[in-house]
Homo-oligomer: A and B are copies of this chain.
């Protein structure tokens, strides 16, 4: 008997493994492929040749993740596709498509922003990924038919995209999304300084050594993470590893002017200046565990507070957990997002 990857995960719906060639990512400094997977979940009864059209949820993975990683199946847990499939089967949410977006880079993640160094990942999502999905699937191909969500860096990406690309999505959900960088990032800088010093302050030497290892220490993952953020928030040029780090490589001292470039991407800082973009959304959702190791619960509080100060409604939830394995929160966000989107009968 033949089966499918979707069936092995217990899905009643189908998975479609597509690939697109993204002009937005062509010629990037890291040599990351412009050809990217687009994985599409369609619910039971989806008929590519039918007349029904469906709303679409775009899911963005976190740092060190990729599109495939969103499909990883852990025993006794459900990934985002398994949750969606289950919630549809239970009639807890309406039929909708789910698109798993790939934002991985050689430095572990793009943060879904346009970067002179990494390539234009925001443009890639908004134009290339959505363009493909709307062209090939029976979608409700308009703002009212789309929402975006993600966890950690994916939550950041969701907030970034609704603020920078208004008119694309009608709702967002950020699970433990990167925010309030003042707390989230600097605690890592001493570790990163030490690690880079061990590689003679050469980012490229560090990356090469990292890639050559069978196994990496936690401090090495943290270092790569900060390189990933620098490649998104403070790149210098299209030359590989030509990044401004937010601290002096030799002394470790904070470089305020570079860190200010990071903070300019902080959702907390951007709400006020993006009030109009946020206002057109039908639904805004943030949650975070109250033991989040990066203090992102504070960030979610502040983003929510800033939105309310602008007169915007926001659904903000907290729960007793840390940053890891909070995929069970999709049970809350997926129906809430789908509920506000346009449907066709």
Q: Which of A's residues lie within 8 Å of B, judged by CB?
A: 1-5, 7-9, 16-21, 37, 64-69, 72-76, 104, 108, 180, 182-183, 186-187, 189-190, 193-194, 210-211, 214-216, 251-254, 290-292, 295, 297-298, 301-302, 305, 321, 325-326, 328
Contacts and interface: CB of A to CB of B under 8 A. Distances in A.
Contact of A253 (B186, B291, B298): B298
Contacts of A182: 186, 254
Contact of A190 (B183, B189, B305): B183
Q: How many copies does the complex hold?
A: 4
Contact of A210 (B17, B76, B183, B297): B76
Contacts of A8: 17, 37, 67-68
The 3 A-B pairs of least Cβ separation, nearest first, read A190-B295, A252-B298, A187-B187
Contacts of A180: 253
A326 B215 CA distance: 8
Contact of A17 (B3, B295, B325, B328): B3
A18 B5 contact: no
A223 to B, nearest CB: 13
B251 A302 contact: yes
Nearest to A5: B5
Contacts of A254: 182-183
Contacts of A18: 1-3
Which of A2, A180, A183, A216 has the most chain B CB atoms closer than 10 A to its own CB?
A183
A216 B76 CA distance: 10
A304 to B, nearest CB: 9
Contacts of A215: 321, 325-326, 328
Contacts of A326: 215
